[in-house]
Structure 1
Amino acid sequence: MKHLLQNAWLTRGGLACLLWPLSQLYGLVVRLRMALYRRGILRSERFPVAVVVVGNVIAGGAGKTPLVIALARHLQALHVAVGVVSRGYGRSGTGCVEVTTTSSLSQSGDEPALIHRMTGAPVFVADRRTDALRALLAAHPGIAVVLCDDGLQHYALQRDIEIAAFDDRGAGNGWLLPAGPLREPWPERKQQGLDLVLHTGAQPAFEGFTSRRQLADDAWTPDGSRVALAGLRGRPVTALAGIANPQAFFGMLGDLGLTLEASITLPDHHAFSEADLAGLQGRTVLCTEKDAVKLFALPAAAGLNLLAVPLVFSPEPAFFAAFDALMAPLLSPLPSTHGHQTA
C-alpha cells in the first residue's frame, strides 16, 4: 500500500482521485486545528529562548536532519549556545531523555543520536517537544537558541523562525494526504508564518534557497579511522541504506566512480539486526552515517569491512545570511513578532 500511495502522489489520476475525498477532509481538519491555535483556543507554549523549527510540509524525509546539523554548527561558529529537541522518531522508549554518547538508540532514536555525535550540542527527546525543551533548559540554562528537529505541525510549541525543507519531489501533485504528499496546504502554508524554504535536492521545484549535497571523499570505520573512497574504485562494494531516499545515496556512490555489486534498500529508521548483515561477511559494505549509528553496534559488523560515508551538506551562503538576519533581533531584548501567528 505504501508504494501505491507514493505512486498516486505523482499524478492526479488513479488511486489519488479515489483518495481525494479523504484529502479534502484532512485539509479541513488541518485548517481548523491551525485556526484554533492561532486564536488561542488550543494552548501553545512560549519559552524564554529563540526557537527555530526545521521541518517538512511534505511527508517523508527531505533533508531536515542534515539541515539541523548545519544550523547547529553555524550557530556554534558564531559562539551561540545551541541545543536541539526532537521526538526521536522510531525510538521504542518513552519519556524524556537526554541523548549522550552512551544513550541506547532504542531510547534516543537514530537521528537525535547522529545530531549529538556530529555537533556535540545537547539534545533532548520526548513524545512532546515542549517537554523536551523544558528539560533541555533545566539541564542547560545557558542555551540561547533551540533547534526543533521536525515539528512544523507541532503548534503546541511557539516558534520564532520556521524553516521548511523540500527535496526534488517539491509539493508532489499538490494534494494533501493521503491522495498527495502534503501535510499542510501549499503554497497556503508559506503565507502563515513560514520564514525560509530550503531545497535539498538538485532540481528545486519552486522559489527558495538551494543547497549542495555530496558525499565526503573519505569514509570512516567503527574505530574512527578514515578510508579514502578513491581507493575503492575498481573494487566491488555493497551499499546499504535505511533512509528516506536510498537511491540518492546509491547514486552519489556511483558518481564517485564506485562499482556497486549490490545495493540493499531498507525502510527509513530501520531497526537493524544481525539478520540484515547475514551473507555479507567478507564484503566491503558502505552505509550512511545515520545507519552507521545502529550498524556499528551490531556484533556481526565485526565480520565486515563496514564503512560509513559522511554526507557533506552545504546550504548556499544566501540562506545563512537570511537566517542570520532573522536571528539578530532574537538574540537581543527585542520581542519576537511571531507569537501565536505560528503557534
Structure 2
Amino acid sequence: MRLIEKVWFNSHPAKYLLVPLLLPLSGLFWLLSTLRRLSFKVGLARSVKLTKPVIVVGNIGVGGNGKTPVVIYLVELSRSLGLTPGVISRGYGGQAPHYPYLVTAESTAVEAGDEPVLIQQRCQVAVAVGSDRIASAELLIAQGCDIIISDDGLQHYRLERDLELIVVDGQRLFGNGLLLPAGPLREGQWRLSTSDLVIYNGKKAKKNANQPLTMTLAATEVANVQSGQCIKLLDFIKLNPSVNAIAGIGAPQRFFDTLKTNKFNVKKQQSFVDHHSFTLADFSDFDDTIALIMTEKDAVKCQGFCQSHWWYLPVDATFSDVDRALLTDKIKALL
C-alpha cells in the first residue's frame, strides 16, 4: 500500500505532516468541483439525455469499492428482464487505436483497459470505452443496446443518468473523510443522499444513506489463467494446500482477506498499485512449484505470458432477495 493510502485509510503517523500540506490543494479541489457541479445545475454546462435509459455505477472515493461486480450483476439482471445491455467505461490505462472503441473478444487490456476487458470476457456483452461517454453510449445504442450501464462516471455530469448507484467499500468506508489529495474522496459524503441507491460492499448499509443496500462478494470456483479450466473452490484448496497470491487492485488487502476467509493457506502475498501493468518479471520472486492465485482483473493483463500454475478467483456480487427486488423494480421503472 502506498504511503498516501496509509494516511487516508490507516491513520499513518505521516498524516501529521502530509494532511496539513495537502489541505490547501483539497480546498482548491473542492472549489473547482463545486463550480463544475453548479455550472450544470444553472445551465452554463449542458447534460445530454440519451434515447435509451442510463444507469451510472460509481463511487465518491478512489477505486477498490466493488463497482465492476455490480456492473456485471446489473448486466445479468437486465438480461433477465429481456433487455440488451451495453457497458461504457473510461478504459483507464488503455491505448485504443481510436475512440470510442468497441471491445471485442480479441481486445487486450493494453488496448481497452483491464476492467472493460474483464466485463466483456465474463458477460459477452457489448462494451465501449473512451473519455467521451456519450459517444461511447451512442455507439452501443447503434449496436442495438436498449439500456446503458456506465462503469464509473459518477462525476461525469455531462451524461444525464436515469438511475444512479453509489458503491461504498464497507471496510474502508470514507477513510479520513477528506477530499483529494488530503483524503480519498472525490465528493463529500453528502453525495450519498442525492443518489438513487447506495450499495455497501461487505458491510451492513448505513441508515443515513439513500435507499441503502448491502452487497457481498462470493466465490465458488477457481479458474486457470492459461487454459480457462475451472475447478470448484473446495476441490482446488484440497489439491493446493498452499498458494501464493498477488493483487493489483484498489484494495488488495480485501482480496487477500477473501482468500483467507475461504480457507486458502497463503504462503506469500504481494500487492501492486491499481491497474498495474504486469510483466513476467513481477513474478520472479515466487516459487513456481506452488499455485499462484490472483484477481480476475489481474488475470486479463497476464494472459499473454501466463504460466500453467497461475489461477484467478472470480467473484460475484450477491444481494438479498429484498435488495434484488428493489434493483429489479428500479430497472423496470426506467422502461
Fold-level similarity (TM above 0.5): yes
Query: Following superposition of structure 1 onto structure 2, how do residues 312-323 of structure 1 map, counting pairs within 5 Å?
Result: 312-323=316-327
User: Secondary structure, in 3 states, of the residue corresponding to 2:330?
Assistant: helix
Work out the CA distance in 2 between the residues paired with 1:227 and 1:329: 39
Unaligned runs of 5+ in 2: none
Pick aligned residue for 2:257 from 238, 244, 251: 251
State which drifts further: 124-133 or 169-178. 169-178
Q: Which amino acid aligns with 2:149?
A: L
Q: Structure 2: how far apart are the matches of 1:24 and 1:279?
A: 43
Cα distance in 2 for residues equivalent to 1:109 and 1:8? 26
- Note the C-alpha offset of 1:175: 1.9
Q: Does 1:101 align with 2:105?
A: yes
Tell me how far 1:296 sits from its aligned partner: 2.3
2:56 equivalent in structure 1: 53
2:89 to 67, 86, 90: 86
Residue pair 1:99, 1:124 contacting (<8 A) in 2 also? yes
AA aligned opposite 1:270: H
**For residues 77-136 of structure 1, what are the alpha-carbon distances to aligned partners after superposition, in whole Å with 9 as ceiling and x for unaligned?**
111111000111121335221111101321111100111111111000012111211221
Q: In structure 1, what is the equivalent of residue 197 of structure 2?
A: 196
Who is 2:75 aligned against?
Answer: 72
Query: 1:52: how far off?
Result: 0.4
Percent identical pairs in the alignment equals 35
Partner Cα distance (2:272, 2:255) in 1: 12
SS at match of 2:102: strand
Give the CA deviation at 1:256. Answer: 2.1
Name the SS for the 1:295 alignment partner: coil
Cα-to-partner distance string for 1:23-82 (whole Å, 9 max, x where unaligned)? 222212211111111222112211100000000111222001110001111111111111
Segment drifting more, 317-326 vs 307-316: 317-326
Q: Distance in 2 between matches of 1:146 and 1:214?
A: 25
Partner amino acid, structure 1, of 2:124: G
Mapped to 2, the partners of 1:235 and 1:247 lie a distance apart of 21
TM-score (norm 1): 0.87
Alignment equivalent of 1:36, drawn from 36, 39, 45: 39
Alignment CA distance shift 1:9-1:223 (3 Å): closer
1:139-158 CA-to-partner distances (Å, cap 9, x unmatched) read x1x32210000000001111
Aligned equivalents of 2:255, 2:64: Cα separation in 1: 13
1:202 deviates by 3.2
- What is aligned with 2:182? 179
Q: Give 3-state SS (helix, strand or coil) of 2:301's partner.
A: helix
Q: For the residues of structure 1 that align with 2:329 and 2:130, how far apart are their CA atoms?
A: 30
Deviation at 1:214, TM superposition (A): 2.8
- Does the 8 Å contact 2:78/2:331 carry over to 1? no
Given residue 182 of structure 1, which amino acid in structure 2 is its aligned partner?
L
> Contact 1:108 / 1:125 at 8 angstroms: preserved in 2?
yes
Counterpart CA distance in 2 for 1:43 and 1:77 is: 34
Query: Would you say the 8 A contact 2:204–2:214 is kept in 1?
Result: no
2:4 is matched with which residue?
4
Letter in 2 for 1:48: T
CA separation of 1:225/1:195 partners in 2, compared to 1, >3 Å: closer, same or farther?
Answer: same
Contact preservation (8 Å) 1:242, 1:266: yes
Aligned residues: 324
Unaligned runs of 5+ in 1: 332-343
Q: Specify the SS of the correspondent of 1:164.
A: strand
Q: Which residue of 2 aligns with 1:241?
A: 247
Please tell me whether residue 154 in structure 1 is matched to residue 156 in structure 2. Answer: yes
Q: Normalising by structure 2, report the TM-score.
A: 0.89
Counterparts of 2:188 and 2:222, CA distance in 1: 41
Letter in 2 for 1:291: D
| CA RMSD after TM alignment | 2.2
- Conserved in 2, the CA contact under 8 Å of 1:53 and 1:151? yes
Distance, in Å, in 2 between the alignment partners of 1:244 and 1:310 is 16
Q: What corresponds to 1:288 in structure 2?
A: 295
Q: Which moved more, 1:16-25 or 1:261-270?
A: 16-25
Preserved contact between residue 295 and residue 312 of structure 2 (Cα < 8 Å):
yes
In the aligned structure 1, how far is the partner of 2:2 from the partner of 2:22? 13
Give the distance between the partners of 2:220 and 2:203, measured in 1 at CA. Answer: 17
| Worse-matched range after superposition: 231-240 or 266-275 | 231-240
Q: Distance in 2 between matches of 1:8 and 1:227?
A: 38
Counterpart Cα distance in 1 of 2:141 and 2:42: 27
Q: What is the rounded CA distance, in whole Å, between the counterparts of 2:50 and 2:272 in structure 1? A: 38
* 8 Å CA contact 1:170, 1:204 repeated in 2: no
Q: Which amino acid aligns with 2:63?
A: G
C-alpha distance in 2 between matches for 1:295 and 1:87: 21
Once residues 206 and 2 of structure 2 are traced to their aligned partners in structure 1, the CA distance between those partners, rounded to angstroms, is 23
